[in-house]
Chains A and B, each alone.
Chain A
Amino acid sequence: GDSVTQMEGPVTLSEEAFLTINCTYTATGYPSLFWYVQYPGEGLQLLLKATKADDKGSNKGFEATYRKETTSFHLEKGSVQVSDSAVYFCALTPDILTGGGNKLTFGTGTQLKVEL
């Protein structure tokens, strides 16, 4: 079945540092890819998405590029802030052409801590 693998956390960075959170996936065809963020005490919020190969999703300074050849969707931000401290989840929904439904399959989540 489909799966998502994320780098283990927690990741601790100083403010203004560069962030990369690795995400790779296993799925048939061309799934849609997502990053969700969970701030302390809150639910899951969509951060960005990409629905086809080579698409770049971006939001709030975060970016991720859909790489079919490496089955990856790594999250990056050039300069993190303390307010970015949260848990980040990579996720996918199946390629609609495979008839695999539209449930989200999540990675384990990566906790990010940004310090002054």
Chain B
Amino acid sequence: EPEVTQTPSHQVTQMGQEVILRCVPISNHLYFYWYRQILGQKVEFLVSFYNNEISEKSEIFDDQFSVERPDGSNFTLKIRSTKLEDSAMYFCASRDGTVSNQPQHFGDGTRLSIL
């Protein structure tokens, strides 16, 4: 069964540095998402992406964050000038979108640790 893949599985970065989290969505999917889960808290929506532009974003997704689909397969989340509170598990998801109410499929996540 096709799956969403995320790299790296664990990223350790110094505070203030930039980090790029990478995702390869399922190949025929049209909608892409990033979520994060701070340790012990609920999974929170960050951003959704469709047709090469952001379709929705949360209050968390401020100017520090950006997303990009640089080619036909990758979907990246860039965090500039990282802060301690950015430490979390980041999940990428994708959805078919050609049929309504199709579920989102998630990757295994990238654990981001800011030191």
Q: Which chain A residues have a beta carbon within 8 Å of chain B's beta carbons?
A: 32, 34, 36, 42-46, 49, 51, 89, 91, 93, 96, 101-109
Query: A97 to nearest B CB, angstroms?
Result: 11
B104 contact from A42, A101, A104, Cβ within 8 A: A104
From B13-21, B42-50, B65-73, B79-87, give the one contacting chain A.
B42-50
Most B CB within 10 A of own CB, among A36, A49, A104, A106: A104
Residue in B closest to A103 when the chains form the complex, CB atoms? B45
Contacts of B87-104 to chain A: CB distance below 8 A: 91, 93, 95, 100-101, 103-104
16 more A-B residue pairs beyond the given contacts A45-B106, A93-B101, A104-B43, with a C-beta to C-beta distance below 8 A: A34-B103, A43-B4, A44-B91, A44-B93, A91-B43, A96-B100, A101-B55, A102-B56, A103-B33, A103-B45, A104-B33, A104-B35, A105-B45, A106-B42, A108-B41, A109-B43
Given contacts A34-B103, A43-B107, contact A101 B43 (CB under 8 A): no
Given contacts A89-B43, A104-B35, contact A51 B106 (CB under 8 A): no
A-B contact pairs, 11 of them (CB 8 A): A34-B103, A36-B106, A43-B4, A43-B6, A43-B106, A101-B55, A102-B56, A103-B48, A104-B43, A106-B43, A108-B42
B29 within 8 A of A: no
In the complex, what residues of B have CB within 8 A of residue A49's CB?
101, 103
Given contacts A43-B109, A49-B103, contact A101 B42 (CB under 8 A): no
In the complex, what residues of A have CB within 8 A of residue B109's CB?
43
B108 contact from A42, A105, A106, A109, Cβ within 8 A: A42
- 6 nearest A-B pairs in the assembled complex, by CB-CB distance: A43-B108, A44-B106, A103-B45, A106-B43, A101-B56, A51-B101
A44 contact from B31, B43, B48, Cβ within 8 A: B43
B78 within 8 A of A: no
Complex Cα distance A36/B100, Å? 19
